[in-house]
Amino acid sequence: MQEAQKYSRYSFLLDRTARRVKQYAKQRFRELGWSITVDQWTVLKQLFDRGELNQRELADLTFKDHPTMTRIIDLLSTKELIIRKAHPDDRRSFKIALTQSGQQLVEECLPEVQSIRMKAWENLSESDFKEFKRILDSIYDNLSL
Amino acid sequence: MQEAQKYSRYSFLLDRTARRVKQYAKQRFRELGWSITVDQWTVLKQLFDRGELNQRELADLTFKDHPTMTRIIDLLSTKELIIRKAHPDDRRSFKIALTQSGQQLVEECLPEVQSIRMKAWENLSESDFKEFKRILDSIYDNLSL
DNA sequence: TTACATTTGTTGTTATACTAATTATTTTAA
DNA sequence: TTAAAATAATTAGTATAACAACAAATGTAA
């Protein structure tokens, strides 16, 4: 393979694998009868770990843009897993909080999510993880603005 | 970090990095004034490399599903970069072919695409590429159906 | 040959991704 | 203090991504 073409191939493999990982988790969520998506889960988990956050903070933590976060928040609100509370110090902003059923859902799903996530890494060693993380971070930094 | 949480973190980094790579390419395409997306490019490039293909073959090669491919083909047809030609042996199917302007576009864009792709891999070594590919393939296989 | 299964492609629906533009509010600077 | 700049969130438009259901054509087995 030509030198230059090789890099396109790696980018393709990265994209393909990331899609597969997401697809697998999505499918397992469905099979388990959970009515949330993987991206919605990520938001719930952040709120579970860190407590109330505004939408900008959630967007930054999950590396999503603001319009996307608005819509994920809308969907989670409709399902009554979170609520937008008025921000005490800033009327432009909301405090997003888990509802009781949101809290309960995270607690129930957490072990299963972890086993879904583990599946991808079967047969890989501790040093593989380190290498992988290092390379991913390097790629990410190369493309930072 | 807890053992189980680690795997979620790796999945997150993978997703984040893949999104960044796509985002970077998309932005460069825009800056260069190209009116195609990265996924559309991938289809054009396959046709350029392999000649006429049907939609199933294109979907298989790019690891996209058939409805997604239908829509990408629709968009490229509208832009007159490709055409659906009747398949001589199978009336269910089309032969997808580059038009002259499609062919020309690929030839013009190819060097620039390769430099966009290379950007991600700066400061990484040949053995990093090999390791990375091995780990990606392993993850992909772990989640195969 | 007929009935059934498979294949190819399309349509519909929901969700995420990114861009641009907009509103409301808050911050900063003259 | 007032005007301009910046920020938080939303809305609108277009493009992927995945899934289900479907139509038309082809293949296969009795």
CA A121 to chain CA centroid, nearest Å: 17
Nearest one of A34, A39, A109 to A73, comparing CA atoms: A39
Contacts of A14 in chain B (CB under 8 A): 14, 17-18, 21, 136
pLDDT tens track for A107-139: 999 999 999 999 999 989 999 999 999 999 999
Q: What is the total residue count of chain B?
A: 145
Nucleotide nearest to B73 (CA to C1'): C9
Q: Provide the angle, in degrees to the nearest 10, between the axes of the packed helices B38-50 and B100-119.
A: 120
Domain-wise residue ranges, chain B: 36-142
State the burial class of residue A24 (Cβ atoms within 10 Å of its Cβ: 0-12, 13-18, 19+).
buried
Give the span between the Cα atoms of A59 and A64, in whole angstroms: 5
**Cβ distance A41 to A109 under 8 Å?**
yes
pLDDT tens, chain B, 145 aa long: 667 788 888 999 999 999 999 999 999 999 999 999 999 999 999 999 999 999 999 999 999 999 999 999 999 999 999 999 999 999 999 999 999 999 999 999 999 999 999 999 998 999 999 999 999 999 999 998 5
Contacts of B128 in chain A (CB under 8 A): 131, 135, 138
Q: A93 Cβ partners below 8 Å, 6+ apart?
A: A54, A55, A56, A87
CATH pick for B36-142 out of 1.10.10.10, 3.40.50.720, 1.20.272.10, 2.70.170.10: 1.10.10.10
Read off the tokens for B141. 């296989």
Compute the mean pLDDT over every residue in chain A, rounded to the nearest whole number: 94
- For residue A110, give how far its alpha carbon lies from the nearest alpha carbon of chain B (Å): 10
Contacts of B122 in chain A (CB under 8 A): 142
Bases of chain C with protein Cβ within 7 A: 7-13, 15-21, 24-27
DSSP 8-state symbol, A144: -
> A26-142: which CATH topology?
Arc Repressor Mutant, subunit A (1.10.10)
